[in-house]
Amino acid sequence: MQTAPLPSTAEALFAVLIAERPDRLEALLAGDPARAANWVRAAAEQGLPAAHVRFGRMLLEGTGVARDPVAAAGWFRRAAKADDADGCNMLGRCLENGWGLSPDASEAARWYRLAAEADHAWAQYNLGHLLLDGNGVARDAAEALAWYRRAADQGHSRAMSLVGRCLEQGWGVAADPAAARDWYRRSAEAGYFRGQFNWASALAEDGELDPAIAWFETALAGAPDASRRAMLKSLARSRHTALSNLARDREPAPCS
């Protein structure tokens, strides 16, 4: 796909407004993603870090432009060098996952940390993963939990579930099943499918099968295919007939 020429001065000025009014950009993306990408690129060319990140995402995903992870990483780096927390986090993602750059978990951790210290919830969550796994950094479950907590305190639903997991398993802290369940509930209510599944599992352990089934169904409806299949396998092994039946009923029919 050819990149369109930069828009006129008037459109470029409007691009600045789009950077401050994301609702306008979302509406434009729905109707004309190529034009939206053109405007975002104009704002990025004017040096707006938020536009650097947004255009980088469009290049990463191929939204309105040809997919180009290398160029995306370059835009994220420009934002990161301007001390933009979103840019630091996305540059870390590229380095962790090899999107347009050679994978380098240690360097990813460095950029995540910069954003995490600026209170960026996703960076706190991402840094927590590297610390918990010892990926690119020395394994430190206690520090991982601390970052998950900071993200969770900002309403990050995935981090809430990981706080619960750490508390359940005793990773970086003394095991506290009651507190773990509370975090799973909070994650579930915030809409995260793994939190919903974990909270449903906790309810099932307490014999509260009706609310458990309702949460299991919600989790299954929101989970991506691979996670959904894993959840169904877990439910199929349940000692509760109602849950194993739920798994059987939700299994896709075999191809004839």
Q: Kindly report, residue by residue over 66-85, the tens digit of the pLDDT.
A: 999 999 999 999 999 999 99
Consecutive sets of 10 residues in the chain, 256 residues long: mean pLDDT of each?
56 61 74 86 87 94 96 98 97 98 98 98 98 98 98 98 98 98 98 98 96 97 97 95 92 55
Per-residue confidence (pLDDT) for residue 31, from 0 to 100: 81
Per-residue confidence (pLDDT) for residue 256, from 0 to 100: 42
* Domains of the chain, CATH where assigned: 1-103 (1.25.40.10)
Nearest by Cα to 149 from 162, 133, 134, 135: 162
- pTM > 0.85: yes or no: yes
Per-residue confidence (pLDDT) for residue 19, from 0 to 100: 63
Both tokens of 227, joined, read 């996670």
Per-residue confidence (pLDDT) for residue 11, from 0 to 100: 58
Amino acid, single-letter form, for residue 151: A
Per-residue confidence (pLDDT) for residue 156, from 0 to 100: 98
SS3 134: coil
d(CA 60, CA 72): 6
d(CA 19, CA 40): 8
CA distances, 255 to each of 12, 32, 221 (Å): 53, 38, 21
Per-residue confidence (pLDDT) for residue 255, from 0 to 100: 46
Per-residue confidence (pLDDT) for residue 143, from 0 to 100: 98
Per-residue confidence (pLDDT) for residue 245, from 0 to 100: 94
